[in-house]
Amino acid sequence: MRIPTQSRSWVVIGVIAAALFILQQFWKWEVERVEVEQGKYLVRIHRWGKDLPEGEIVAPDDSYKGIVLESPPQEGRYFLNPIFWGHEVHNIVSVPVGQRLVLTRKFGNPIPKERLAQGDILARDGEREIDGERGILAKVSLPGNYRINPYAYSWEFVNAVQIGPDQVGVRTLKVGKDPRDLPVDSKRPRYVVPDGYRGVQQTPANNGTYYINPYVETISPVEVRSHRAELSDIEFPSRDGFILKPHVMVEYHVQRAKAPEVLVRLTDEGKLHQNDSTPEQQEENEILQKVILPHIRGYARIEGSNFNARDFILAAQTADGVDEKSNTRERLQKSLLAKVRPRCQELGIELRAVLLGEMKPPPELAEQISMRDIARVKQAQNKSLVEQYKEEQKLKSIEALKQQNREKVEANTRVLVAQTNAQQRKQVEELKLKQELESAQIRLDAAKNRAAAVLAKGKAEAAVINVQNEAEVAGLRKAVQGFTSVQNFAQFHILSRLAPALKEIFASDDSEFARLISGYMTLPATAPKQALPVAEGSKVQATQTGK
């Protein structure tokens, strides 16, 4: 079958259209598609357009060729024709807690030379971002995530300033009003400026966390808590010409309101060293080296020369006495504190205490004074011992008398107790013997009564037995009288008891059994003779009932 020419044209057109659609979809999804993952952002670069003006590095809009100045697109899916657009994917800039981000703009108008001459190095913003000035931006970026065009801006991380609870912050403003324009005022501090002027600010910052631009201002922490330091390099001559080296303990702190002046007047690099635990730290401590130590050294020489060296040694060895010399060290402490404190206050340091520790006099002086003092102390000790021994003797005599009286009383008490116990035992024994005698008498009477009762009972029983015997004998006598002889009576009783038990007896006449009972089977002489039945063969026959 032959397809018409017109139909064939439509088939070709359909195939071409389908192919173009597939090609367009492939181009869009495989070539133009740009996937921006989470945590990243997109920077677009325009390949066609007008050239940028001289000195510019970013394109203000799509009509220019170059890096497009725009807020970088966030994560997602984008379609960019690679013929017209290039692109770069960058990681989001994350600012952690405790840091801030300082931006520097790379494009824009230059800062006027007049402002640079006045110390203003910060770039200002215009009505549009492209109209801003090239340079460091005053505003900092706080902790968080930011999408920043790396071709339009550069940045640096700066740590936040931490001012602790026992600190104040001394603010130094680098950009601001010119302090030379301030009117002359004798009451205004010489080393600090009012707020808003370039220089060290008169008002300190309270404790907290500050996210500031280090190109605009800086904050230096200054401790205002109390410090204690032991100074071992103080010496002064005494009135009698000896060199004394006491250990001096000072307690001090920086006045909160004058902390900016202290930082300016005492430091060379803008950092105040305030550690004072070791000799090395004390060497770096500007407060000790420039304020406290010079004043204490000077006034210690002046005030210490008013006392003798022995006064300090005696004070150390007779601290429990009432002599006025025992207060020498305290008097010197008060004098030093009264002289040095006002000088330190003028410089912003509050001196709270000056304490004098162990003195180190020359060995020869210390030995002589110590020997004399030891002898005096020994003498006082001996006097005290004598008095103590006397008192002990009195106490011992009193104790001996008390002991004697106590033993005498105890002996008398023991005698009385022994007598009382003996009398009580005697009475108890007498009462016990009486009771035993009465008990024995009662038992004796009872035994007699029992013997009489037993005798009476025996006589009664004997009489009863005699009566019973007589009755039995009378019965036997009466029974025997009915028979001719006693033998007959016995034979009768035997046979009367034996006859009911026997039915038949088989025995020969000459057997042992026959001979045993033959005597009982013979009739009495006076009784009529009865023939006993005799079995055949000379056998005796009887009946047996029972076993």
pLDDT in tens, 388-446: 888 888 888 888 888 888 888 888 898 898 889 889 888 988 888 899 888 889 988 88
Instruction: Tell whether 416 and 504 lie within a shared domain.
Output: no
419 with 533, same domain: the answer is no
Lowest mean pLDDT among 20-24, 364-368, 501-505, 542-546: 542-546
Arithmetic mean of pLDDT, 32-37: 83
Helix (H, G, I), strand (E, B) or coil at 209: strand
Find out whether 244 and 361 touch, Cβ atoms under 8 Å.
yes
Beta strand residue intervals within 224-380, DSSP E: 227-231, 236-237, 243-244, 248-254, 349-356
| pLDDT computed for residue 541 by the predictor | 35
**Domain of 446?**
381-480
With beta carbons less than 8 A apart as the criterion, state whether 244 and 235 touch.
yes
DSSP percent split of the chain into helix, strand, coil, nearest 5: 45, 20, 35
124-133, 342-351, 362-371: lowest mean pLDDT where?
A: 362-371
Distance separating alpha carbons of residues 504 and 273, to the nearest angstrom: 154
d(CA 121, CA 118): 9
Whether residues 472 and 397 share a domain: the answer is: yes
Query: How many alpha carbons fall within 13 Å on the CB side of residue 532?
Result: 15
Residue in this structure with the two tokens 């007699």, named with its chain if needed = 448
Give the residue, 513 or 437, on which the prediction is more confident.
437
pLDDT in tens, 231-245: 888 888 888 777 888
Task: Determine the residue type at 142.
Answer: L
Largest CA distance in the chain: 199
**pLDDT the model gives residue 232:** 82
Tell me: pLDDT of 532 over 60: no
The stretch 64-78 carries a mean pLDDT of 82
Residue 132 resides in a domain:
no
Residues 72, 148: contact at Cβ < 8 Å?
yes
Of 223, 248, 277, which one is at a domain's C-terminal end? 223
Which residues does residue 109 pair with via DSSP β-bridges, in sequence order? 133
Same structural domain, 235 and 286: yes
Q: Is the pLDDT of residue 324 over 80?
A: no
When computed from its CA atoms, the radius of gyration of the chain, rounded to whole angstroms, is: 72
pLDDT at 487 over 90: no
Domain shared by 219 and 233, yes or no: no
| Overall domain count for the chain | 5
Structure tokens at 526: 């006076």
Domain match, 476 and 514 both: no
In contact, 337 and 353? CB cutoff 8 Å: yes
DSSP assignment of 110-179 equals PPPHHHHHTT--EE---SSGGGSBSEEEEEEEPSEEE---TTTEEEEEEEPEEE-TTEEEEEEESSSB-G
- Strand pairing report for 135-141 and 122-123: parallel
340: pLDDT strictly greater than 90:
yes
- Asked whether the beta carbons of 95 and 144 are under 8 A apart, the reply is yes
In tens, the pLDDT along 167-184 reads: 999 999 988 888 888 888
Is residue 524 scored above 60 in pLDDT? no
Question: Residue 373 and residue 368: Cα distance in Å, rounded?
Answer: 9
Residues 350, 250 share a domain? yes
Residue 147 domain-assigned? no
290 & 303 share domain: yes
pLDDT score for 375: 81
Domain CATH number, residue 251: 3.30.479.30
**Average pLDDT of the chain to the nearest whole number:** 82
Task: Tell me whether residue 119 is in a domain.
Answer: no
Q: Is 83 inside any structural domain?
A: yes
Q: What is the pLDDT of residue 542?
A: 36
Neighbours of 361 (CB within 10 A): 21
Return the higher-pLDDT residue of 47 and 322: 47
347 and 470 in a single domain? The answer is no
Q: Are residues 461 and 507 in the same domain?
A: no
Binned at pLDDT 50, 70 and 90, residue 505 comes out as low
- Beta-carbon contacts of 346 under 8 Å, excluding residues fewer than 6 positions away, are none
Alpha carbon distance 526, 109 (integer Å): 195
Q: Is residue 238 part of a domain?
A: yes
2 pLDDT exceeds 80? no
User: Taking a C-beta distance cutoff of 8 angstroms, is the pair 222, 266 a contact?
Assistant: no
Question: Is 80 exceeded by the pLDDT of residue 325?
Answer: no
SS3 call for 540: strand
Cα(179)–Cα(359) distance, integer angstroms: 51
**Based on the domain organization, do 511 and 385 belong to the same domain?**
no
What pLDDT does residue 406 have? 87
pLDDT tens sequence across 131-150: 788 888 989 999 999 988 88
In a domain, 237, yes or no: yes
**Confidence band (pLDDT; 50, 70, 90) for 290?**
very high
pLDDT for the residue numbered 162: 92
Domain ends where: 64, 91, 118?
91
CA distance 120 to 342: 41
CB 301 within 8 A of CB 236: yes
Say what the pLDDT of residue 360 is: 66
What is residue 342's predicted lDDT score, i.e. its pLDDT? Answer: 94
- Do 236 and 312 lie in one domain? The reply is yes
Mean pLDDT, range 71-95, rounded to an integer? 83
Please report the pLDDT score of residue 331 as a whole number.
87
| Distance, CA of 231 to CA of 248 (rounded, Å) | 5
Give the model's confidence band at 528: pLDDT under 50 very low, under 70 low, under 90 confident, else very high.
Answer: very low
Non-local (6+) Cβ contacts of 19 within 8 A are none
In a domain, 124, yes or no: no
The confidence band for 534, taking pLDDT boundaries of 50, 70 and 90, is very low
Give 204's DSSP letter: P
Q: Which amino acid does the sequence have at 388?
A: Q
Q: Does residue 345 sit in helix, strand or coil?
A: helix
Which two tokens mark 513?
A: 């059994």
Pairing of strands 243-244, 236-237: antiparallel
Residues forming a β-bridge with 177: 197
User: How many whole angstroms separate alpha carbon 158 and alpha carbon 169?
Assistant: 17
**Residue 503 pLDDT:** 66
Candidates 45, 135, 142; CA nearest to 90 is 45
- The answer to whether position 436 is within a domain reads yes
Length of the chain: 547
Predicted pLDDT at 102? 93
